């Protein structure tokens, strides 16, 4: 018999048709368009971001390569075109006592791109190689490489920095490192900026292999072939100025608890509060940071928050009354007519209590926002920094899935409720720590309070719902 | 008039080769062509939908939506919910129509999408697999004639009264014709659970039918 039920249901429902509401097709088209538009927007934003990152990386790489090329090109040019000038310079060096480094440096600046500095080093290595050639103990190539490794390249960027620092000696020189060869100096502690020590003295201490100009032979006749050979075989080390960019990127994931503030009718609010309980929520965040001053930076990015909520509600029991008519027959004995069958109708009403409908769903509110925040350094010791931050987020998209109570007997789907699609704006404030792992990478962790500024429902609804929450951002910050 | 005649001729041609389907949509109001929907065969419709032709999509929607709404209603608690499922399912159909390779019937393919969308939508709710109150239920024979005489709408409301877990398994096994093993995979439960849920669902259904006056002979 129970197989009959299966067959009957199958038969009945196999070709069962019902009309969906009018306008559903238009809704499908609109949703598809929106979805496609969203894909375009996000993919183009991702491409732009990736493009910017790539451009930034390649430009900094190119910069470094250019530094090396610039120096090698200058070396060749100096060798071929300015041989006479070199010889003049050397003879000047021999005739007059050495000029202080600061003067020499200014000469560098006056000719730009460190050309004169190259003269000095060129002279040094030419003399050195000549000396070695004369002693015939080692081959020229090896020696030239040795000498090259001791060379100093003064590039325009470095020169700019030197000038700036020497102008503001009393002011903080900011953060950064200078690398000469394998040696690392803090910018403000580099020997090159010590007023009591000139460049050559510092160089001699660091690199004793540099040969002083005064000690050279007076015989300066160097064959052109030797110069070319030395210049061609010289691989120049890249002495680069490592200066950290003001830009950083940050990515974080944030578990937390989200909630909402309701205002409206008290009865309705208490019903909502009974049926909805906050659950573990998540936020994901990617942002770019720009350092306004050593202690203050501004941040702009993209945040996706998923607020979860447990909805559990049972509507009250209902009493359903059904009325049916029943025809009854009665035999009546009539004094004249005899036995008569009388027909009459009785209305029977039956009432039944039907238990309420229980709905249990996991409500999910998805918001995408653009956070604009200021972050300031409150305290710093060694690698650990205490940070405070605050700002606003501008909502660009919001959606909700799940159920909510509309009135005590009605549970509606959030998907079709008058949910405000424009986005939820909010104010943020947070306090946390940043731990510097390497020169560029820091680990960050900060709990942040979020308070909604606008209602997540349209203004014509009977209540106002503002999103709130505490999310703990944990992530990485990379300085470019 | 000339233009309309020309376009009608063009429509006659395009019904066969469907190359100008996209252009035609921009030129004509698709509502005028609703009578011509029957002229388009299923392959034309699919091709048109692959080309993102709004007219073909509308024809396809009009052709299949009533039946699919019937499927969706069986899995959902309310009409509104069923319409949401139908909407999501048709979005998937239009997005994924390129992947339909012509194996099996097209209607079967759409039906499968609707069923899976409904299951996914119901996943958000806690699907209860619990015995329910079966104390007073006994296997009893019912008057099958009385059930067959019932309106499908009434049967639907009885079906919708079943607890969610029971209803899903009953729908999938009895009406859709999936095996218990397949159902187990779909709902991420063992096939034994599916089997027991199904037998309980039937008992529950008998109780409900009895409640509505269809009694033992």
Domain layout of chain B by residue ranges = 2-123, 144-211
- Per-residue model confidence (pLDDT) at position A153: 46
Burial class (CB in 10 A: 0-12, 13-18, 19+), A330: exposed
Q: Tell me if residue A36 falls in helix, strand or coil.
A: helix
Q: At what angle do helices B152-161 and B191-211 cross, to 10 degrees?
A: 120
A 55-114 residues inside an 8 A Cβ radius of B: none
Angstrom distance (rounded) from CA A177 to CA A175:
7
CB contact under 8 Å between B86 and A24, yes or no, is yes
Q: How far is CA A411 from the centre of its chain?
A: 40
Q: How many CB pairs under 8 A join A and B?
A: 112
- Per-residue model confidence (pLDDT) at position A102: 44
User: What mean pLDDT is predicted for residues B131-146?
Assistant: 52
CB contact under 8 Å between A8 and B147, yes or no, is yes
Mutation pick from A5, A10, A18 vs chain B, by most beta carbons of B within 10 Å, is A18
B59, B31 in Cβ contact below 8 A?
no
Residue A203: pLDDT band (50, 70, 90) is very low
Among A19, A20, A360, beta carbon nearest to B125: A360
User: What mean pLDDT is predicted for residues A138-144?
Assistant: 48
- Per-residue model confidence (pLDDT) at position A119: 44
Closest Cα to residue A212, out of A196, A200, A197, A194?
A200
User: What mean pLDDT is predicted for residues B163-179?
Assistant: 88
Q: Searching chain A, which residue's CA lies closest to the CA of residue B199?
A: A2
C-beta neighbour count of A332 within 10 angstroms = 10
- Per-residue model confidence (pLDDT) at position A323: 84
Burial class (CB in 10 A: 0-12, 13-18, 19+), B212: middle
Of A192-206, A318-332, A466-480, the least confident = A192-206
Angstrom distance (rounded) from CA A282 to CA A268:
28
Give A14's contacts in chain B (Cβ within 8 Å). 175
Q: Which two tokens stand for residue B149?
A: 């005489």
Q: Which residues pair with A442 in a beta bridge?
A: A436, A477
Q: Which residue has the higher pLDDT, A300 or B215?
A: A300
A39 touches chain B (CB under 8 A): no
Q: Which residue has the higher pLDDT, A398 or A178?
A: A398
A401 touches chain B (CB under 8 A): yes
Q: How many residues does chain A have?
A: 480
- Per-residue model confidence (pLDDT) at position A236: 44
- Per-residue model confidence (pLDDT) at position A91: 57
Kindly list the distances between the CA atom of residue B178 and the CA atoms of A17, B107, B183, B195, B214, in Å, as whole numbers in the listed order: 21, 16, 6, 12, 28
Cβ-Cβ contacts under 8 Å for B126 (sequence gap 6 or more): A360, A361, A362
Residue B94: pLDDT band (50, 70, 90) is very high
Of A168-177, A317-326, B19-28, B185-194, the least confident = B19-28
Of A192-206, A451-465, B94-108, the least confident = A192-206
Residue B6: pLDDT band (50, 70, 90) is low
CB contact under 8 Å between B73 and A17, yes or no, is no
A226, A143 in Cβ contact below 8 A?
no
Q: What is the DSSP letter of B140?
A: -
- Per-residue model confidence (pLDDT) at position A212: 45
Please give the share of chain A, as a percent, with pLDDT higher than 70: 59
A302, A287 in Cβ contact below 8 A?
yes
User: With 50 as the cut, is the pLDDT of residue A358 above it?
Assistant: yes
- Per-residue model confidence (pLDDT) at position A80: 52
Instruction: Identify the architecture of domain B2-123 in CATH.
Output: Orthogonal Bundle (1.10)
Q: Searching chain A, which residue's CA lies closest to the CA of residue B69?
A: A18
User: What mean pLDDT is predicted for residues B172-194?
Assistant: 88
CB contact under 8 Å between B155 and A12, yes or no, is yes
Rg of chain A on CA atoms, in Å: 41
CB contact under 8 Å between B174 and A10, yes or no, is yes
A362 touches chain B (CB under 8 A): yes
- Per-residue model confidence (pLDDT) at position A386: 94
The CA dihedral of A79, A80, A85, A91, to the nearest 10 degrees, is 50
- Per-residue model confidence (pLDDT) at position A324: 84
A235, A145 in Cβ contact below 8 A?
yes
Give A9's contacts in chain B (Cβ within 8 Å). 155, 159, 170, 174-175
Residue A99: pLDDT band (50, 70, 90) is very low
User: What mean pLDDT is predicted for residues A317-326?
Assistant: 83
- Per-residue model confidence (pLDDT) at position B137: 47
Q: Which two tokens stand for residue B217?
A: 């002979």
CB contact under 8 Å between B125 and A361, yes or no, is yes
Name the residue with tokens 């029977």.
Answer: A348
Kindly list the distances between the CA atom of residue B106 and the CA atoms of A417, B43, B63, B84, in Å, as whole numbers in the listed order: 33, 9, 12, 22
Residue A447: pLDDT band (50, 70, 90) is very high
CB contact under 8 Å between A24 and B94, yes or no, is no
Q: Tell me if residue A322 falls in helix, strand or coil.
A: strand
Residue A241: pLDDT band (50, 70, 90) is very low
CB contact under 8 Å between A5 and B94, yes or no, is no
Q: Which residue has the higher pLDDT, A313 or A68?
A: A313
Nearest C-alpha of chain A: how many angstroms from B10?
26
Closest Cα to residue B202, out of B132, B114, B151, B125?
B132
- Per-residue model confidence (pLDDT) at position A456: 80
Helices of type H across A21-139: 24-81, 83-95, 101-111, 115-135
Please give the share of chain A, as a percent, with pLDDT higher than 90: 21
Kindly list the distances between the CA atom of residue B22 and the CA atoms of B3, B5, B15, B50, B62, in Å, as whole numbers in the listed order: 18, 18, 12, 11, 18
DSSP string, A50-81: HHHHHHHHHHHHHHHHHHHHHHHHHHHHHHHH
Of A115-119, A246-250, B66-70, the least confident = A115-119
Whole-number mean pLDDT of chain A?
73
CB contact under 8 Å between B94 and A15, yes or no, is no
Among A10, A21, A402, beta carbon nearest to B83: A21
A312 touches chain B (CB under 8 A): no
User: What mean pLDDT is predicted for residues B75-87?
Assistant: 89
Q: Tell me if residue B188 falls in helix, strand or coil.
A: coil
A369, A330 in Cβ contact below 8 A?
no
With vertex at residue A363, the alpha carbon angle to CA A362 and CA A365, rounded to the nearest 5 degrees, is 140
Q: Which residue has the higher pLDDT, B147 or A449?
A: A449
CB contact under 8 Å between A401 and B124, yes or no, is yes
CB contact under 8 Å between B70 and A18, yes or no, is yes
- Per-residue model confidence (pLDDT) at position B22: 43
Q: Which two tokens stand for residue A373?
A: 């925040």
CB contact under 8 Å between B142 and A1, yes or no, is yes
Angstrom distance (rounded) from CA A82 to CA A231:
13
Cβ-Cβ contacts under 8 Å for A423 (sequence gap 6 or more): A367, A368, A369, A394, A395, A396, A397, A398
CB contact under 8 Å between B81 and A413, yes or no, is yes
CB contact under 8 Å between B84 and A9, yes or no, is no
Kindly list the distances between the CA atom of residue A118 and the CA atoms of A190, A221, A223, A232, in Å, as whole numbers in the listed order: 21, 19, 19, 15
User: With 80 as the cut, is the pLDDT of residue B199 above it?
Assistant: yes
Give B202's contacts in chain A (Cβ within 8 Å). 2, 5-6
CB contact under 8 Å between B80 and A6, yes or no, is no
With vertex at residue A442, the alpha carbon angle to CA A191 and CA A173, rounded to the nearest 5 degrees, is 30
- Per-residue model confidence (pLDDT) at position A84: 57
Q: Searching chain A, which residue's CA lies closest to the CA of residue B209?
A: A5
User: What mean pLDDT is predicted for residues A139-163?
Assistant: 52
A30 touches chain B (CB under 8 A): no
End-to-end CA distance of chain B: 68
CB contact under 8 Å between B84 and A12, yes or no, is no
Q: Which residue has the higher pLDDT, A409 or A65?
A: A409
Among B70, B174, B209, beta carbon nearest to A6: B174
Of A121-125, B97-101, B116-120, B163-167, the least confident = A121-125
Domains and CATH numbers, chain A: 59-242 (no CATH), 245-315+360-480 (2.40.160.20), 318-354 (no CATH)
Cβ-Cβ contacts under 8 Å for A211 (sequence gap 6 or more): A124, A127, A128, A131
User: With 50 as the cut, is the pLDDT of residue B17 above it?
Assistant: no
B21, B10 in Cβ contact below 8 A?
no
Q: Which residue has the higher pLDDT, A181 or A211?
A: A181
CB contact under 8 Å between A28 and B87, yes or no, is yes
A31 touches chain B (CB under 8 A): yes
User: What mean pLDDT is predicted for residues A321-325?
Assistant: 84
Strands A296-314 and A338-354, bridge-based pairing: unpaired
Q: Which residue has the higher pLDDT, A167 or B118?
A: B118
Closest Cα to residue B69, out of B45, B53, B90, B48?
B90
Q: How far is CA A21 from the centre of its chain?
A: 44
Q: Which two tokens stand for residue A305?
A: 């928050």
CB contact under 8 Å between A12 and B152, yes or no, is yes
CB contact under 8 Å between A14 and B175, yes or no, is yes
Burial class (CB in 10 A: 0-12, 13-18, 19+), A393: buried
Rg of chain B on CA atoms, in Å: 22
A340 touches chain B (CB under 8 A): no
Residue A310: pLDDT band (50, 70, 90) is very high
User: With 80 as the cut, is the pLDDT of residue A379 above it?
Assistant: yes
Nearest C-alpha of chain B: how many angstroms from A420?
18
A271, A314 in Cβ contact below 8 A?
no
- Per-residue model confidence (pLDDT) at position B41: 80
Query: What are the backbone dihedrals phi and psi of residue A234, each rounded to the nearest 5 degrees, phi first?
Result: -85, 120
Domain B144-211 classification at class level: mainly alpha
Q: Searching chain B, which residue's CA lies closest to the CA of residue A361?
A: B125
B62, B40 in Cβ contact below 8 A?
no
Among B87, B205, B209, beta carbon nearest to A31: B87
* pLDDT 10s digits, A25-54: 989 988 888 888 888 899 889 999 888 888
Angstrom distance (rounded) from CA A407 to CA A402:
16
CB contact under 8 Å between A359 and B80, yes or no, is no
- Per-residue model confidence (pLDDT) at position B5: 66
A 6-25 residues inside an 8 A Cβ radius of B: 6, 8-21, 24-25
- Per-residue model confidence (pLDDT) at position A112: 41
Of A3-17, B70-84, B123-137, the least confident = B123-137
Among B91, B124, B155, beta carbon nearest to A28: B91
Give A21's contacts in chain B (Cβ within 8 Å). 83
A121, A71 in Cβ contact below 8 A?
no
């Amino acid at each position: 018999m129970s197989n009959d039920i299966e067959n009957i249901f199958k038969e009945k429902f196999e070709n069962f048709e019902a009309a969906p509401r009018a306008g559903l097709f238009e809704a499908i088209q609109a949703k598809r368009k929106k979805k496609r538009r969203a894909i375009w927007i996000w993919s183009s934003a991702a491409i732009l971001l990736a493009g910017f990152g790539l451009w930034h990386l390649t430009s900094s790489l190119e910069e470094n390569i250019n530094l090396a090329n610039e120096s090698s090109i200058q070396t060749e040019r100096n060798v071929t075109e300015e041989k006479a000038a070199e010889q003049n310079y050397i003879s000047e060096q021999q005739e007059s006592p050495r000029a202080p480094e600061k003067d020499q440096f200014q000469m560098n600046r006056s000719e730009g791109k460190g050309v004169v500095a190259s003269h000095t080093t060129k002279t040094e290595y030419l003399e050195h190689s000549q000396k070695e050639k004369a002693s015939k103990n080692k081959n020229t190539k090896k020696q030239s490489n040795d000498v090259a490794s001791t060379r100093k390249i003064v590039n325009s960027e470095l020169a700019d920095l030197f000038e700036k620092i020497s102008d503001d000696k009393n002011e903080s020189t900011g953060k950064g490192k200078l690398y000469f060869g394998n040696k690392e100096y803090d910018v403000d502690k580099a020997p090159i900026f010590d007023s009591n020590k000139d460049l050559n003295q510092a160089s001699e201490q660091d690199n004793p292999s540099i040969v002083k100009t005064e000690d050279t032979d007076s015989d300066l006749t160097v064959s052109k072939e030797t110069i070319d050979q030395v210049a061609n075989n010289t691989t120049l080390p890249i002495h680069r100025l490592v200066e950290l960019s003001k830009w950083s990127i940050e990515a974080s994931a944030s578990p937390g608890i989200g909630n909402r503030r309701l205002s409206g009718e008290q009865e309705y609010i208490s019903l909502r509060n009974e049926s909805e309980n906050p659950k573990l929520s998540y936020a994901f965040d990617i942002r770019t940071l720009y350092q306004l001053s050593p202690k203050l930076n501004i941040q702009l990015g993209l945040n996706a928050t998923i607020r979860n909520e447990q909805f559990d509600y049972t509507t009250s029991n209902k009493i359903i009354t059904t009325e049916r008519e029943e025809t009854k027959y009665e035999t009546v004995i009539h004094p004249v007519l005899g036995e008569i069958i009388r027909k009459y109708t009785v209305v029977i009403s039956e009432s039944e209590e039907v238990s309420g409908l229980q709905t249990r769903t996991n409500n999910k509110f998805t918001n995408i926002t653009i956070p604009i925040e200021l972050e300031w350094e409150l305290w710093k010791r060694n690698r650990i920094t205490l940070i405070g931050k605050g700002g606003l987020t501008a909502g660009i998209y919001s959606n909700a899935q799940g159920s909510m109570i509309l009135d005590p007997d009605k549970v509606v789907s959030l998907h079709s409720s008058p949910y405000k699609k424009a986005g939820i704006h909010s104010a943020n404030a947070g306090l946390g720590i940043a731990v510097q792992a390497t020169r560029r990478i820091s680990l960050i962790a900060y709990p942040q309070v979020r308070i909604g500024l606008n209602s997540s429902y349209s203004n014509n609804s009977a209540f106002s719902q503002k999103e709130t929450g505490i999310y703990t951002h944990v992530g990485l910050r990379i300085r470019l | 008039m000339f233009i309309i005649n020309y376009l009608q001729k063009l429509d006659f041609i395009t019904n066969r080769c469907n190359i100008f389907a996209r252009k035609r949509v921009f030129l004509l109001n698709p509502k005028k062509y609703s009578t011509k929907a029957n002229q388009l065969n299923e392959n034309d419709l699919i091709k048109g939908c692959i080309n993102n032709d709004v007219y073909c999509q509308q024809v396809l929607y009009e052709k299949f939506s009533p039946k699919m709404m019937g499927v969706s209603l069986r899995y959902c608690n309310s009409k509104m919910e069923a319409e949401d499922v139908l909407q999501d399912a048709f979005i998937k159909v239009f997005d994924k129509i390129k992947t339909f390779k012509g194996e099996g019937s097209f209607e079967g393919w759409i039906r499968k999408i609707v069923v899976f969308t409904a299951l996914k939508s119901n996943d958000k709710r806690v699907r209860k697999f619990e015995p329910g109150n079966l104390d007073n239920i006994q296997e009893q024979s019912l008057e099958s004639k009385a059930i067959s005489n019932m309106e499908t709408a009434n049967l639907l409301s009885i079906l919708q009264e079943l607890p969610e877990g029971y209803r899903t398994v009953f729908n999938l096994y009895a009406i859709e014709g999936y095996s218990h093993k397949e159902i187990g995979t779909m709902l991420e439960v063992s096939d034994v659970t599916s089997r027991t849920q199904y037998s309980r669902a039937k008992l529950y259904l008998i109780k409900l039918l009895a409640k509505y006056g269809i009694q033992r002979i």
